[in-house]
C-alpha cells in the first residue's frame, strides 16, 4: 500500500516509511492512497476468537502491505505483553441495557495504554526496515544509518507519557522525550514521570498549555531542525501521540475489538450493527479513530458523542463549515482535524480532490470554508452530537455518555445496542 500527503504535493511512498513519520515534506499528514476494503463478517468471526494483539496485527497488516505479515503479528504480540494487562486488554462490562468497553487496565491505568502501546515497537521495526531499504527515511531526507535510533516525542499532561514510557520497556533502542505543561500537570503525575526519568527518558516542562505545546512540537517536526537532529545526534524524531497515522489505526483497533468481544459474549449476533458512544476530547484523536473504524467495517452504524456546542468539531459536523479559528501558520489545529476532513472526502463520492488545500486557501482568503456536500453528509451520517448543558459538563464520563445516548434514542426512536468506550 502506498501513502500520500493529505495535501497531495508529494509522490506516494511505501507504508514502512509513512508508519513512523507524520508530516510530509509539503506540510501535510501521511494517509493511505486508497482505503482497504471493509472488514466482512467472515473476517469478523475469525477475529472474534483472537486476542486484541492479533486483531490489531490484522488491522495493521492491511496498512503495512510492504512489511512481512509475520513481522506485524510479532510486534502486536510483543506490544501487548499479557502480564502488563492482567491477561486481558479489553474489559467489556454489561450494566443493565448498557455496554461499557474499558481499556484502563494496563500499567498506567489510562486508555492510552492500549491506544499508544504498539507505536514505539512499530517505529523501531519500520525505522529498521527503512534503513535496510537504502532510500531516504520517511521524508526527512536523512540517509539510512544503522546508528540512527528513534526519538519519540510526546506532549502530555501525564497519562499519554506514562503509557508511552511503559510501552518502550521492550524497545532495544531509542529514547522518549516528554514535554509537559507546568501549570496543567498534577503533582502526582509529575512525580511518577520523574521516577521514570533516566538515560532513555527525558522530561521538559513548558510555561504553556498543552495545545500550545502540541503546536510547538508540530512546528519543530515540520522544520529542518528535526532532520539536523538525526544527522548530528543519530536520533530520528517521531511523534508518540495519536496524531500519527498508525496511532489512529491502533486506536481504531479498539473499536473493532470491542465489537468482537460483544460477539464472543453473545450480546450481539454476527452482522448486527451497533452504535458507539465515544468521549469527546479537543485533540479529536478518539473521534478520528472511531470515524476510521466505521469506515473500516459495516458493523458500526452511528458514533454518539457529547461535545461543546461551540467546539470546532461540533460546528464541522452540524454545519459542514470551518472558520479561521482552526488554522494557525498553515496548520489545522488540532492536527487530527486535517485527517478528519481528508477522511470525510475519501469516504465520500467526492474523493480526495485536493480538499485540504482548498480548505486552507479559502480560510486564508475568505476566513471560512464549507465542505463539499458529499463530504459533509458523510460526517453528518457518521456522528450524532449531543450538546450538554453547563450542569452536565461537570458529570463524569460515564454519566455524560449515558445522557448523550438517552437524547439520541429520544430523538430518533432507535434502540440499537450501543457500546460506550471508556
* pLDDT given at position 369: 95
Global pTM value: 0.88
Chain-centroid distance of CA 210 in Å reads 17
> 116 falls in which pLDDT band (50, 70, 90)?
confident
pLDDT for 180 beyond 60: yes
Q: What would the DSSP string read from start to end of 36-64?
A: PPPB-HHHHHHHTTS-HHHHHHHHHHHH-
pLDDT for 142 beyond 50: no
Q: C-alpha distances in angstroms, 76 versus 84, 129, 400?
A: 14, 17, 33
pLDDT tens-digit series, residues 43-53 = 999 999 888 88
pLDDT for 156 beyond 60: yes
**Alpha-carbon span 129 to 137, nearest angstrom:** 10
Write down the residue that cell numbers 463520492 correspond to: 349
* pLDDT given at position 2: 84
Percent of the chain with pLDDT over 90: 34
* pLDDT given at position 208: 93
pLDDT for 315 beyond 80: yes
CATH number attached to the domain at 245-421: 3.40.50.1100
More confident residue, 335 or 190: 190
pLDDT tens-digit series, residues 4-47 = 888 888 888 877 777 766 778 788 888 888 888 889 999 999 99
Average pLDDT for the chain: 82
Chain-centroid distance of CA 421 in Å reads 14
Domain ranges (residues) in the chain: 245-421
Residues in Cβ contact with 230 at an 8 Å cutoff, skipping those fewer than 6 apart: 137, 140, 142, 148, 236, 237
Amino acid at each position: 500500500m502506498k501513502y500520500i500527503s493529505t495535501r497531495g504535493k508529494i509522490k506516494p511512498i511505501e507504508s514502512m516509511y509513512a508508519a513512523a513519520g507524520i508530516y510530509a515534506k509539503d506540510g501535510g499528514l501521511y494517509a493511505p492512497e486508497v482505503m482497504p476494503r471493509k472488514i466482512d463478517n467472515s473476517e469478523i468471526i475469525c477475529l472474534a476468537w483472537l486476542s486484541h494483539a492479533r486483531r490489531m496485527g490484522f488491522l495493521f497488516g492491511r496498512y503495512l502491505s510492504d512489511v512481512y505479515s509475520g513481522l506485524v503479528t510479532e510486534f502486536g504480540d510483543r506490544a501487548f505483553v499479557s502480564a502488563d494487562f492482567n491477561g486481558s486488554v479489553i474489559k467489556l462490562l454489561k450494566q443493565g441495557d448498557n455496554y461499557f468497553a474499558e481499556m484502563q487496565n494496563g500499567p498506567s491505568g489510562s486508555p492510552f495504554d492500549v491506544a499508544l502501546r504498539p507505536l514505539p515497537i512499530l517505529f523501531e521495526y519500520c525505522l529498521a526496515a527503512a534503513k535496510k531499504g537504502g532510500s531516504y527515511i520517511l521524508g526527512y531526507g536523512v540517509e539510512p544509518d544503522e546508528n540512527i535510533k528513534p526519538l519519540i516525542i510526546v506532549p502530555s499532561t501525564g497519562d499519554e507519557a506514562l503509557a508511552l514510557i511503559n510501552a518502550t520497556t521492550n524497545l532495544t533502542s531509542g529514547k522518549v522525550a516528554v514535554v509537559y505543561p507546568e501549570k496543567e500537570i498534577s503533582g502526582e503525575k509529575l512525580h511518577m514521570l520523574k521516577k521514570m526519568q533516566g538515560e532513555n527518558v527525558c522530561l521538559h516542562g513548558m510555561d504553556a498549555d498543552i495545545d500550545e505545546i502540541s503546536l510547538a512540537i508540530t512546528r519543530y517536526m515540520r522544520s529542518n531542525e528535526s532532520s539536523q537532529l538525526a544527522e548530528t545526534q543519530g536520533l530520528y524524531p517521531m511523534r508518540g501521540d495519536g496524531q500519527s497515522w498508525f496511532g489512529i489505526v491502533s486506536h481504531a483497533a479498539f473499536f473493532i475489538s470491542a465489537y468482537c468481544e460483544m460477539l464472543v459474549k453473545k450480546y450481539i449476533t454476527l452482522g448486527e450493527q451497533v452504535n458507539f458512544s465515544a468521549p469527546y476530547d479537543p485533540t479529536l484523536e478518539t473521534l478520528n479513530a472511531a470515524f476510521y473504524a466505521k469506515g473500516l467495517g459495516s458493523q458500526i452504524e452511528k458514533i454518539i458523542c457529547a461535545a461543546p456546542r461551540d467546539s470546532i468539531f461540533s460546528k464541522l459536523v452540524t454545519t459542514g463549515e470551518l472558520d479561521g479559528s482552526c488554522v494557525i501558520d498553515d496548520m489545522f489545529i488540532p492536527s487530527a482535524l486535517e485527517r478528519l476532513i481528508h477522511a470525510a472526502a475519501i469516504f465520500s463520492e467526492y474523493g480526495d480532490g485536493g480538499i485540504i488545500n482548498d480548505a486552507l486557501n479559502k480560510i486564508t482568503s475568505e476566513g471560512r470554508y464549507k465542505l463539499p456536500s458529499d463530504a459533509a453528509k458523510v460526517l453528518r451520517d457518521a456522528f450524532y452530537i449531543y450538546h450538554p448543558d453547563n450542569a452536565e459538563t461537570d458529570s463524569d464520563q460515564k454519566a455524560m455518555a449515558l445522557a448523550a445516548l438517552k437524547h439520541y434514542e429520544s430523538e430518533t426512536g432507535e434502540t440499537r445496542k450501543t457500546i460506550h468506550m471508556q
